[in-house]
């Protein structure tokens, strides 16, 4: 399939017919649909491969092309769509969230617009590319992503990255292959290195939210102690009891990274958060918390690519999470957390692509 954009007119009960120039091989994919009689003009971006990691860029491209065509009188009401030999379940779901239609060579087809709702799912009997890793942001695979982002300009050999993250060389190979296919990583004579760390970080933040919402254990509490005094007590207690800890959110920031007035004391701990809170006389509360103790999901409760990977020593004497985890935590925090996350990208991480 040639990768390019085309304008088509979709007519229910008929095969889509190309009415614009530049359609590539495999563009005429026919799908029957039962719907009210209606004509829909669509602009479709054709791709030879489409994954969750490349979808955002493809959608941006087709929407940009649609907006350009709107300057012509005949194309003032175009519906954006994407097409590929195979469209996975995760890509289908994301397309619906973005308000974009899709079609593939198996006959899977969606056109949801106004009163017209066509959603056809066909078995992937052909054209499905073999995938070693379905989602590189889940389970132990995301350890590899986190390690790459913490070291964005460092070329990695497979064996080194496997040792760094405590996963198999085979798993590292499949994750890096996926990133390379999606244009986020390149091979050099020294190893494999990221080419678009900023884009990868944003994708990471979007993809891991549901898992953290379901599997990260949170304790919300209140303490009358000043934030620095409480944080120091928490640090000392964990140290004496051999409990891993790493401060995050506002208590994990250096002064030059701060763009928030929030004074919550937040930390990841590897032990029982309720027991730690009891020892520090922190009262559990439902609202008005100024203390958050967090136990990460099991696959991230580790210093080999997990939340305790490459923690940093802050100038106030505390141990903070690495800047990548700090960004992720602020992106989950709600309120103005995303503003602080974006501030970190510009003033601490320095990612440009």
**H/E element holding 289?**
none
- Determine the pLDDT at residue 123: 83
**Mean pLDDT calculated for residue range 68-77:** 78
Give 88's pLDDT tier (boundaries 50, 70, 90): confident
- Determine the pLDDT at residue 5: 58
Three-state SS string over 121-157 comes to CCCCCCCCCCCCCCCCCCCCHHHHHHHHHHCCCCCEC
- Determine the pLDDT at residue 182: 85
Of 64 and 9, the structure prediction assigns the larger pLDDT to 64
**Mean pLDDT calculated for residue range 177-191:** 90
pLDDT of 169 above 90:
yes
Give 17's pLDDT tier (boundaries 50, 70, 90): very low
pTM: 0.69
- Determine the pLDDT at residue 208: 87
pLDDT of 27 above 50:
no
Q: Report the SS3 class of residue 220.
A: strand
Q: Report the SS3 class of residue 218.
A: strand
pLDDT of 30 above 50:
no
Q: Report the SS3 class of residue 169.
A: helix
CA distances from 119 to 36, 42, 113, 270 (A): 14, 16, 11, 45
CB atoms within 10 A of CB 344: 23
- The overall average pLDDT reported for the chain is 86
Interatomic CA distance for residues 313 and 298, integer angstroms: 24
- Beta carbons of 142 and 97 less than 8 angstroms apart: no
pLDDT of 129 above 70:
no
The proportion of the chain whose per-residue pLDDT surpasses 70, expressed as a percent, equals 87
**Mean pLDDT calculated for residue range 261-272:** 94
Interatomic CA distance for residues 292 and 290, integer angstroms: 7
pLDDT of 249 above 90:
yes
**pLDDT tens digits for 285-294?**
989 999 999 9
**Mean pLDDT calculated for residue range 319-327:** 97
Task: Please spell the DSSP secondary structure of 87-102, one letter per residue.
Answer: --HHHHHHHHHHT-EE
Length of the chain, in residues: 353
DSSP summary character for residue 250: G
Give 3's pLDDT tier (boundaries 50, 70, 90): low
Interatomic CA distance for residues 53 and 204, integer angstroms: 9
pLDDT of 341 above 50:
yes
Give 10's pLDDT tier (boundaries 50, 70, 90): low
Residues of the chain with CATH 1.10.10.10: 141-210
**Mean pLDDT calculated for residue range 204-217:** 90
Task: Please spell the DSSP secondary structure of 41-88, one letter per residue.
Answer: EEEEEE-S---HHHHHHHHHHHHHHHHHHTTSGGGSSPEEEEEES---
Residues of the chain with CATH 3.40.1350: 4-120
Give 353's pLDDT tier (boundaries 50, 70, 90): low
**Mean pLDDT calculated for residue range 250-268:** 95
- Determine the pLDDT at residue 89: 84
Specify the CATH class of 141-210 in words.
Answer: mainly alpha
Least confident of 115-119, 141-145, 156-160, 164-168: 115-119
**Mean pLDDT calculated for residue range 148-154:** 95
- Determine the pLDDT at residue 73: 67
Instruction: Give the CATH number of domain 4-120.
Output: 3.40.1350
- Determine the pLDDT at residue 76: 75
**H/E element holding 246?**
strand 245-248
């Amino acid at each position: 399939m040639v990768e390019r954009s085309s304008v088509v007119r979709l007519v229910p009960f008929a095969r889509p017919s190309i009415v614009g120039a530049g359609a590539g091989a495999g563009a005429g994919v026919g799908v029957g649909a039962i719907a009210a009689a209606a004509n829909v003009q669509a602009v479709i971006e054709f791709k030879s491969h489409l994954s969750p990691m490349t979808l955002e860029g493809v959608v941006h491209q087709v929407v940009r092309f649609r907006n350009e065509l709107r300057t012509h009188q005949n194309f003032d009401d175009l519906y954006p769509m994407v097409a590929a030999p195979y469209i996975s379940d995760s890509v289908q779901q994301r397309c619906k969230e973005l308000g974009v239609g899709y079609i593939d060579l198996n006959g899977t087809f969606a056109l949801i617009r106004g009163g017209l709702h066509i959603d056809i799912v066909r078995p992937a009997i052909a054209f499905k590319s073999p995938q070693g890793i379905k989602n590189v942001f889940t389970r132990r695979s995301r350890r590899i992503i986190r390690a790459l982002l913490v070291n964005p300009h460092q070329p990695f050999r497979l064996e080194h990255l496997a040792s760094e993250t405590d996963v198999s060389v085979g798993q590292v190979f499949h994750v890096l292959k996926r990133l390379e296919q999606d244009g986020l990583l390149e091979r050099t004579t020294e190893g494999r290195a990221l080419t678009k760390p900023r884009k990868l970080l944003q994708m990471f933040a979007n993809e891991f939210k549901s898992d953290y919402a379901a599997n990260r254990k949170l304790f919300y509490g209140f303490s009358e102690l000043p934030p620095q005094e409480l944080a120091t007590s928490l640090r000392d207690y964990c140290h004496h009891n051999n409990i891993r800890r790493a401060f995050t959110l506002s208590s994990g920031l250096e002064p030059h990274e701060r763009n928030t007035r929030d004074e919550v004391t937040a930390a990841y701990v590897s032990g029982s958060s309720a027991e730690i809170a009891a020892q520090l006389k922190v009262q559990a509360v439902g609202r008005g918390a100024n203390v958050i103790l967090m136990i990460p999901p099991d696959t991230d409760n580790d210093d080999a690519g997990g939340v305790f990977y490459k923690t940093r020593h802050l100038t106030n004497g505390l141990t903070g999470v690495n800047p990548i985890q700090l960004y992720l935590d602020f992106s989950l925090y709600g309120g103005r957390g995303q503003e602080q996350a974006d501030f970190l990208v510009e003033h601490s991480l320095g990612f440009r692509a």
